Amino acid sequence: MTDLKFSPGKAVDPQRAIRWGAFRVAEYRIRVLSKWLWSVVAFGLGNPILFLLSVGLGVGALVDANSGGQGLGGVSYLQFVAPALLASAAIQGVMDEVTFPTMDGFVWDKVFFAIGATSISPRQIADGVMLVALLRGLATTLMYLAILLLFGAIPLSSFAPLLLTSMLAGWGWAAIMMAITARLKEDDGFFAIISRFVIAPMFLFSGTFYPLEQMPIYLQPIGWVSPLWHATELGRTLSYGAAMELGMLLLHLGYLALLGLVGMSLTYPKFRERLNS
Amino acid sequence: MFATAKEIVISARSLTKKYKDFVAVDGIDFEVRRGEAFGLLGPNGAGKSTTMKMIASVSQRTSGDLSILGKEPNTQGPEIRAHLGVVPQKDLLDRELKVWENLFTYGRYFGLSRKFLKDKVEELLEFAQLTEKRMSKADDLSGGMQRRLAIARGLVNEPEILMLDEPTTGLDPQARHILWDRLFRLKEQGVTLVITTHYMDEAEQLCDRLIVMDKGKIMAEGSPAELIKKYSSKEVLELRFGTDKNEAAAEQLKDLAERIEVLPDRILLYTQKGEDLLTQIVDAGLNPITSLVRRSSLEDVFLRLTGRSLVE
Amino acid sequence: MITQALVSQAVAIQERRSGKPGQAVYSGRSRTILERGFYAFKSSSWLIVISGFVEPVFYLLAFGFGIGQLIGDLEDGAGNLVSYAAFIAPALLATSAMNGAIYDATWNVFFKMHFGKVYQVMLQSSLGPLDVALGEISWALLRGLSYSLGFMAIVTPIGLVTNLWGLLAIPAATLIAFGFASIGMAITSYLKSFQQMNWITFFLLPMFLFSGTFFPVSVYPEWIQTIVQALPLWQGVELVRSLMLGIIHPGLLGHVLYFLVMIAGGLWFTTVRLKALFMR
């Protein structure tokens, strides 16, 4: 055993540590995430390919044969589902990367409490986690868009706008989920319930696979509150020019942004409360 | 004790266990007799746990002979295990189950009837002083309680041999004494105990006879008192001179004692009369920072045999 | 006080098996593992476990009735027209059986194996590795079976089971759940990290999407069909669909045989692995 080199109180520059805290948290999250890199890439590429082949082309063949391409606003079924699948992947990707770390931080390994004991603030922890989640979502969305282009499911001109709306939806929903996760005291299967009774229905009943209006009116509110429906509606307009009034466009965008702002403003105080008490 | 007159329950000849190139147990011989408390003493990695696993018939030996109650572990594993109680090092309680369910389901694994187990579980809860905790989750118990539950679980099949792997590691002193008391009671009732430990005091407290193991081999065998008598002096004087000064001091001290050991943090002087030696050293003008006179222990035996200390 | 009889009951029970073939690996008490599963289940969040069957129901609603409106009727294997919902319902029943069994036989088994150390303790007793394998696989199979029963209870009243053969879908689902539980536990016993566990999900998703679940495999080129037909879910979907649509032919026994081999293989590998992991 060698002796420690020790210069008490001189190693850390407090100003610097305080200013860049969120990035230090992000760095830690990236280190954790790098162990899962293959799975991020494999799912990022695999998921769109699988869904496009099976639902887009397989089920699509049945739909198109039946409707002759007329039933869904004059586009093929593949073009119809593509924006929905894209938004769904973005939402899922960002969400996973805030809920599990937040759960880990407060409940499982309680990492946030260790980070909170340094000069990093609770808000910076939340920001750092969200930052990496958005990066992961960005990677997922880019891969998805590339595959969609390859399948000819979207025009090249819609690449950038679709990227923006998908990321907006991912951030909005992830912020809400982060605010909720930050309030969990224990791991009592809450995620299983959420994924079973919120995420899965949201994926299936938000006008993803067939127009929302086709559902009975009493089920349509599922779509209205779901970020996926709003992102999908935006996507369909951006991708193949589905008709949309300006008011609706602003409503969709505004709703997604509102989710994000409400989510974050409910997240910060809770992080502060849990880490500083 | 009159243990020597009793039947041999475990017998090992040239017992060897290899994992690929690593020899965990290297041709050891020993016998355990009915009703005795038999200890395996040694540092981590000495091969104690591997030996325990082979006795418990959950690990197949590479070569040599091993017989437990006259049975062959390779082919009669379940039959041997019906005779044994096992208390693993980390308790390995079933965290999904309540305290009483831990005992009950484990009893069911042996095929014991529900009727039999109903009374048995109550009896064991009382023995382990856990009656009030019966409905708690195993996870919510303190360390000492978890260990007692693990022991109670090991007793559910009324075993002839109880195997305990490091029974008091990680427990506070009070919990250790409660546990030793429970183990004494079992021994009084004729249960054979096989115990691994790297704590000298535990080995001295509990074991009638023990083997000292290091690097898969047996270094010595006997009762704690015999071993101390044979391999160490009556008393030990421990001196500290400061991190950089021990070596130099040792040079001056080496002819004063029967034997001297220089450890990184202190010097051990083996002698019959520790106080006298200390006076002599102080008179000679050497001033240790701290000094301590104590009786020789199994730690010293181990140090003598291997040149290393047990807890590193 | 602890009583010390000359020969304890546990010993007497075990000696009755002495000399029987396989006595080193099997003690004939896998039911005690099921009992343990029951006790653990009682104090777990069992609502979560039970509600697991809703996912295929959601898929049935969204695909069967939602997309179904866009698709209309399909031709079944025997030339009759069936609604799209009736076409996918059997596939989702098979999927329910698979999901329930796989969830228990993979994630739960993984936790018990590496964190709870439950199997290590079981094998300290006079149980053998085959008892543990059979018990745990049976427990997982029960979950798969309960999911398919839940699914049946929903699709039968809405008229998606049209003939009596359809009742055989329940034993078929049992067989499917048994097969997946068995192979799932065998595979899990080889995996060491969460990262590796993710491979299972990665394999299950395409199998779910491409095994003739949502559209007939006849849309694929010949060689892809051959690959799909080798997958266990396709075998299960075909079996259940034939039964529920009343298309009965001797070829169904082939599917049954497939699952019997899968069950036996899974049991064998699980037993060998339990021995290698906890009795080395």
In angstroms, the separation between the Cα of residue B41 and the nearest Cα of chain C is 22
Looking at residue C18, its pLDDT comes to 83
**Residue A13 domain flag:** no
pLDDT, tens digit, for every residue of B132-152?
999 999 999 999 999 999 999
Closest CA to C279 of B58, B56, B89, B61: B58
Rounded CA gap, C182 and C264, in Å? 8
Rounded CA gap, A106 and C258, in Å? 47
Looking at residue B109, its pLDDT comes to 97
Residue C55 CB coordination number (10 Å):
21
Q: Are B17 and B54 in contact (CB under 8 A)?
A: yes
Query: Of B58, B74, B101, which is closest to C278 when you measure between CB atoms?
Result: B58
Contact B77 C24 (CB under 8 A): yes
Helix (H) or strand (E) holding A93: helix A77-103
**Residue C66 domain flag:** yes
**Residue C96 domain flag:** yes
Looking at residue B3, its pLDDT comes to 45
Looking at residue A2, its pLDDT comes to 67
Query: Of C62, C72, C214, which is closest to A66 when you measure between CB atoms?
Result: C72
Looking at residue B1, its pLDDT comes to 44
C interface test, pick of B109, B117, B151 with most C CB neighbours within 10 Å:
B109
Does C40 contact chain B (CB < 8 Å)? yes
Contact C71 A53 (CB under 8 A): no
- What are the structural domains, with CATH classification, of chain B? 3-229 (3.40.50.300), 233-295 (3.30.70)
Residue C155's identity, in one-letter code, is V
**Chains sharing 3 or more CB pairs under 8 A with chain A:** C
A12 versus B86: the higher-pLDDT residue is B86
Which residues, at least 6 apart from C130, have a Cβ–Cβ distance to it below 8 Å?
A: C22, C25, C26, C30, C267, C271
Query: Of A36, A188, A209, which is closest to C67 when you measure between CB atoms?
Result: A209
Q: Classify the C-alpha dihedral C57-C58-C61-C67 as positive or negative.
A: negative
What total number of domains does chain C contain?
A: 1
Q: How far apart are the first and last CA of chain B?
A: 33
**Residue A9 domain flag:** no
Chain C residue with minimal CA distance to B69?
A: C11
Query: Of B79, B94, B96, which is closest to C18 when you measure between CB atoms?
Result: B79
Name every chain A residue with its beta carbon within 8 A of the beta carbon of C70: 63, 66-67, 71-72, 77, 210
Looking at residue A1, its pLDDT comes to 54
pLDDT, tens digit, for every residue of C234-256?
999 999 999 999 999 999 999 99
Tally A–C CB contacts below 8 A: 93
**Greatest distance between any 2 Cα atoms in chain B:** 75
In angstroms, the separation between the Cα of residue B102 and the nearest Cα of chain C is 9
Q: Which of the listed ranges A34-38, A128-132, B177-181 does the model predict with the highest average pLDDT? A: A128-132
Render C104-166 in DSSP notation, one character per residue.
IIIIIHHHIIIII-HHHHHHHTT--HHHHHHHHHHHHHHHHHHHHHHHHHHHTTTT---SGGG
A151-178: average pLDDT: 97
Residues in chain C: 280
Range list of β-strands (E), chain B:
8-19, 22-33, 37-41, 63-68, 84-87, 161-165, 192-197, 209-214, 217-222, 235-240, 259-262, 267-271, 290-295
pLDDT, tens digit, for every residue of B24-64?
999 999 999 999 999 999 888 899 999 999 999 999 999 99
Looking at residue C4, its pLDDT comes to 47
In angstroms, the separation between the Cα of residue C29 and the nearest Cα of chain B is 7
Contact A209 C58 (CB under 8 A): no
**Residue A11 domain flag:** no
Contact B110 C5 (CB under 8 A): no
Looking at residue B2, its pLDDT comes to 47
Looking at residue B213, its pLDDT comes to 94
Closest CA to B73 of A56, A129, A259, C126: C126
**Residue C157 domain flag:** yes
Confidence of residue A20 (pLDDT cuts 50, 70, 90): confident
Least confident stretch, B3-17, B74-88, B280-294, C6-20: C6-20
Contact B94 C44 (CB under 8 A): no
Rg (chain A; Cα; Å): 21
* pLDDT greater than 70 at residue C146: yes
Looking at residue B100, its pLDDT comes to 97
Looking at residue C1, its pLDDT comes to 42
Query: What residues pair up with A261 in beta bridges, in sequence order?
Result: none
Q: What angle do CA C20, C23, C28 make, to 5 degrees?
A: 90
Q: What percent of chain C has pLDDT over 70?
A: 98
Q: Which two tokens stand for residue B60?
A: 């197949």
In angstroms, the separation between the Cα of residue C2 and the nearest Cα of chain B is 7
C186-199: average pLDDT: 91
Looking at residue B249, its pLDDT comes to 83
Least confident stretch, A115-129, C36-50, C134-148: C36-50
Contact C70 A63 (CB under 8 A): yes
What does residue C22 show for φ and ψ, rounded to 5 degrees? 75, 20
Domain region containing C106: 53-278
Contact A58 C215 (CB under 8 A): yes
Q: What Cα–Cα distance (Å) separates residue B88 from each residue in B46, B92, B97, C117?
A: 17, 7, 18, 11
pLDDT, tens digit, for every residue of B161-204?
999 999 988 888 998 999 899 999 999 999 999 999 888 888 88
Confidence of residue A251 (pLDDT cuts 50, 70, 90): very high
**Residue C207 domain flag:** yes
Contact B109 C32 (CB under 8 A): yes
In angstroms, the separation between the Cα of residue B146 and the nearest Cα of chain C is 14
Q: What Cα–Cα distance (Å) separates residue A257 from each residue in A153, A180, A224, C10?
A: 27, 17, 15, 67
Contact B109 C118 (CB under 8 A): no
Looking at residue A270, its pLDDT comes to 97
Q: What Cα–Cα distance (Å) separates residue A277 from each residue in A113, A272, A274, B229, B312?
A: 11, 8, 6, 58, 39
Average pLDDT, chain B: 91
Looking at residue B95, its pLDDT comes to 92
Domain region containing A146: 20-276
Q: Which two tokens stand for residue B267?
A: 């010097």
A192-207: average pLDDT: 90
**Residue C41 domain flag:** no
* pLDDT greater than 50 at residue B104: yes
What total number of domains does chain A contain?
A: 1
Confidence of residue B312 (pLDDT cuts 50, 70, 90): low
Rounded CA gap, C39 and C43, in Å? 7
**Residue C38 domain flag:** no
Looking at residue A69, its pLDDT comes to 58
B interface test, pick of C117, C121, C271, C280 with most B CB neighbours within 10 Å:
C121
Contact C44 B96 (CB under 8 A): yes
Looking at residue C124, its pLDDT comes to 95
**Residue A47 domain flag:** yes
Contact C195 A46 (CB under 8 A): no
Count the alpha carbons within 13 Å of C127 in the hemisphere toward its beta carbon: 33
Rg (chain B; Cα; Å): 22
**Residue C264 domain flag:** yes
Question: Residue written as tokens 């062959």?
Answer: B72
C186-193: average pLDDT: 95
Q: Which two tokens stand for residue C216?
A: 């007939």
Confidence of residue B311 (pLDDT cuts 50, 70, 90): low
A250-255: average pLDDT: 98
